[in-house]
Chains A and B, each alone.
Chain A
């Protein structure tokens, strides 16, 4: 891929440093939760991962709409990169949630609305990735996956509502007011760190997508 650009280097270093600081604060500086004990510290990575996953899919949606309007391959590359990284964050979210769920709820998995919706979200964007890998033509791949990016995201609120009605035994999500200030700023610190990791991965993945596109063109030219 060639040497990293200054932007990439800076983002990478910042992401690494902020992750180290965030983990140190979350693991050592902030006191353990009175009710849940040390297990609660998982929240400092679980919640940022979930937020970033959702944001990544929102960006897929925005880029898909932009692509369908302007038909610029750039938007397609951003959408595809964001979808892939979003899938990674979703898997991280689910795994961390399970690690928290086993000692707290006594089970790795329960059909809680947010849990179920996250799993369905994962299925939607794995499908998005599979569609991309099965389409050979660049323009068609971009157009088809943009459509899936739009429909998939539009479906998320409907899925969430229907799953909530199906399983009404969920607890309301924490709001900033229901959380102690210590916990809140540790959470924000880790959220910033995760956002930097997302930004770094995006910059690198978009460049890879661009190189992939050029390679595809050259191979088509040679064939």
Chain B
């Protein structure tokens, strides 16, 4: 239990800093809205076309926005050797990973809670009937995204050119998450008459479980000094 308590301490600390400074949240929401806007401009005012590709646009927006916050995962620790301090605490270093992971998931889900309704308005899609399905997809997708993202963020935090390296490592690894989330979202928005969305939810669930195990297992090695 002590791992969870330590993790919770990190989540609480990071969310408190975020609540007081709002250094990430405001910028992320604004950036995500801009991404959706740019896509709408690029694809023209054809509402039917926009509705058909809405799932894809939404998740590209989430992925780009997520990269922003993931690359800042350890920013609070960067000044005056904070990460060394965290590492020096007794106990399992996995608590750092779990804490940072939960923080990233919460922050990204909060952005999505604004972004998804905004997309519904922009693309003129009525989302209310699909609210439950969309919520499940975003939660599973966000977990998958953050699992690998939080891990690779720790790996690239001390790297030269980490702004380039994080997406370069992360996006190929996230292909199953993006495919699963985009297809599930599109099917749910279309009414999912054949019940196919469940297959994609299973892909997301399987990815989440497999990468949770792998990342938890390897994280102490990534954090070694």
Chain A interface residues (CB < 8 Å from chain B): 68, 120, 123-124, 126-127, 130-131, 134-136, 140, 143-144, 147-148, 150-152, 154-155, 158-159, 161-163, 165-166
Contact in complex: A134, B179 (CB < 8 Å): no
B213 nearest CB neighbor, chain A only: A154
Query: What 11 additional pairs, Cβ within 8 angstroms, besides A131-B168, A150-B218?
Result: A68-B221, A127-B165, A130-B164, A135-B159, A144-B159, A147-B218, A147-B221, A147-B222, A155-B176, A158-B210, A165-B200
Minimum distance in angstroms from A129 CB to a CB of chain B: 10
Separation of A162 and B144 alpha carbons in the complex (Å): 14
Q: Chain A contacts of B165 at CB under 8 A?
A: 127, 130-131, 134
- Minimum CB–CB distance for B61 against chain A, Å: 20
Residues A136 and B173 in contact in the complex (CB < 8 Å), given A151-B214, A158-B207, A162-B180: no
* A130→B163 CA distance, assembly (Å): 12
How many angstroms between the C-alpha atoms of A136 and B172 in the bound complex?
24
CB distance from B155 to the nearest CB of A (A): 5
Cβ–Cβ contact A155 & B173, under 8 A: yes
- The chain A residue sitting closest to B170, CB to CB, is A127
Q: Mark B134-151, 1 if CB is under 8 A from A, else 0.
A: 000000000000001001
- 25 cross-chain CB contacts under 8 A: A68-B218, A68-B221, A120-B172, A124-B172, A127-B168, A127-B169, A127-B172, A130-B164, A131-B165, A131-B169, A134-B159, A134-B161, A135-B159, A144-B222, A147-B155, A148-B169, A150-B218, A152-B172, A154-B210, A154-B214, A158-B207, A162-B175, A162-B203, A165-B179, A166-B179
Q: How far is the CA of A143 from the CA of B164 in the complex (A)?
A: 20
- Closest beta carbon of chain A to B115's beta carbon, Å: 24
**Given that A134-B160, A135-B159 are contacting pairs, would A151 and B221 also be in contact in the complex, using a CB cutoff of 8 Å?**
no
Chain B residues with CB under 8 Å of A143's CB are 221-222, 224
Quick check: A165 and B203 within 8 Å, CB to CB?
Answer: yes
CB-based contact A120/B175 at 8 Å: yes
Interface: B51 (CB within 8 A): no
> With A and B bound together, what is the CA distance between A162 and B141 in angstroms?
14
Cβ–Cβ < 8 Å partners of B160 in chain A: 134-136
Instruction: List the A side residues contacting B218 at CB < 8 Å.
Output: 68, 147, 150-151
Residues of B within 8 A of A165 (CB): 179, 199-200, 203
B73 CB contacts on chain A under 8 angstroms = none
Instruction: Establish whether residues A163 and B179, one from each chain, have CB atoms under 8 Å apart when the complex forms.
Output: yes
The 0/1 profile, CB within 8 Å of A marked 1, for residues 170-203 of chain B is 0111011001100100000000000000011001
Nearest Cβ distance between residue A112 and chain B, in whole angstroms? 15
- CB-defined contacts of B183 to chain A, threshold 8 Å: 166
Please give me the residue from chain B that is nearest to A145 by CB atom. Answer: B155
A-B CB proximity, top 5 nearest: A123-B172, A162-B176, A127-B168, A124-B172, A127-B169
Q: Is B15 an interface residue (CB 8 A)?
A: no
- Closest B residue, CB atoms, query A140: B158
In the complex, chain B residues whose CB is within 8 Å of the CB of A124: 172-173
Report the minimum CB–CB distance from B223 to chain A (whole Å): 10
* Chain A CB within 10 Å, residue with most, of B171, B179, B199, B210: B179
| B170 to A: closest C-beta gap in Å | 9
Check B206 for interface membership: any CB of A closer than 8 A. Answer: yes
Which among B173, B180, B200, B218 has the highest number of chain A CB atoms within 10 Å? B173
CB distance from A214 to the nearest CB of B (A): 23
Contacts of B172 in A (CB 8 A): 120, 123-124, 127, 152
Which B residue's beta carbon lies closest to that of A121? Answer: B172
Chain A residues with CB below 8 A from B164, complex form: 130
Q: Is the CB of B169 within 8 A of A163?
A: no
Which of A68, A134, A150 has its CB near the most chain B CB atoms (within 10 A)? A134
Contacts of A134 in B (CB 8 A): 159-162, 165
Q: Which residues of B contact A162 (CB under 8 A)?
A: 175-176, 179-180, 203
Collect the chain B residues with CB atoms within 8 Å of residue A126's CB: 168
Contacts of B176 in A (CB 8 A): 155, 158-159, 161-162
Residues of A within 8 A of B151 (CB): 151
Contact A148 B175 (CB under 8 A): no
| Neighbouring A residues of B162 by C-beta, 8 Å | 134
